[in-house]
Amino acid sequence: MEPLYAKEKENNFENYIVECPHCKQEITFNRSTDLKHLIKPYQLVVGCAEVECLNYECKKRFWIEDNVASEKHRYLINDCYKLIKQKRYMACIINLCTACEAFFLKGLNVRLLWEPWSEGVFEADIEKFNETSRVLHDQVHDCTFTKLRNLFFDMYLNDKHFHTQEEILYYIERLCKCLANFDPKKEDIERVEDRITRELFLKLKCLSINSLRNDVAHKYVFRPEKQQVERHFEEVREVVIGLETRLNIEHQINYFIK
Ligand SMILES: [Zn+2]
Return the closest-CA partner of residue 51 out of 66, 40, 41: 66
- pTM across the whole model: 0.92
207-217 tens-digit pLDDT? 999 999 999 99
Find the Cα–Cα–Cα–Cα dihedral 219, 233, 109, 215, rounded to 10°: -10
* SS3 assignment, position 251: coil
pLDDT number for residue 234: 98
- Cα-to-centroid distance, 17 and ligand 1 (Å): 12
Query: 22-31, 32-41, 134-143, 177-186: which range is least confident on average?
Result: 177-186
92-148 tens-digit pLDDT? 999 999 999 999 999 999 999 999 999 999 998 999 999 999 999 999 999 999 999
- Cα-to-centroid distance, 25 and ligand 1 (Å): 6
Q: How far apart are CA 80 and CA 91, in angstroms?
A: 8
- Cα-to-centroid distance, 40 and ligand 1 (Å): 25
Residue 256's pLDDT band (cuts 50, 70, 90): confident
- Cα-to-centroid distance, 97 and ligand 1 (Å): 37
41-53 tens-digit pLDDT? 778 889 999 999 9
What are the residue boundaries of the structural domains of the chain, listed by start? 7-66, 72-257
Neighbours of 195 (CB within 10 A): 8
Share of the chain above pLDDT 90, in %: 85
Return the closest-CA partner of residue 153 out of 172, 191, 187, 180: 180
- Cα-to-centroid distance, 67 and ligand 1 (Å): 21
pLDDT number for residue 60: 97
Q: Is the pLDDT of residue 253 over 90?
A: no
- Cα-to-centroid distance, 29 and ligand 1 (Å): 12
Contact 247, 156 (CB under 8 A): yes
50-91 tens-digit pLDDT? 999 999 999 999 999 998 778 999 999 999 999 999 999 999
- Cα-to-centroid distance, 18 and ligand 1 (Å): 10
pLDDT number for residue 127: 95
Q: How far from the centroid of its chain's Cα atoms is residue 77's Cα?
A: 9
- Cα-to-centroid distance, 146 and ligand 1 (Å): 46
Return the closest-CA partner of residue 180 out of 130, 209, 145: 145
pLDDT number for residue 258: 64
- Cα-to-centroid distance, 32 and ligand 1 (Å): 20
- Cα-to-centroid distance, 38 and ligand 1 (Å): 19
Q: How far apart are CA 86 and CA 157, in angstroms?
A: 38
- Cα-to-centroid distance, 157 and ligand 1 (Å): 52
Q: How far apart are CA 202 and CA 226, in angstroms?
A: 25
Q: How far apart are CA 23 and CA 10, in angstroms?
A: 18
CA distances from 204 to 91, 144, 194, 208, 243 (A): 21, 15, 15, 9, 9
- Cα-to-centroid distance, 66 and ligand 1 (Å): 17
Neighbours of 100 (CB within 10 A): 25
Mean pLDDT of 149-178: 94
- Cα-to-centroid distance, 12 and ligand 1 (Å): 21
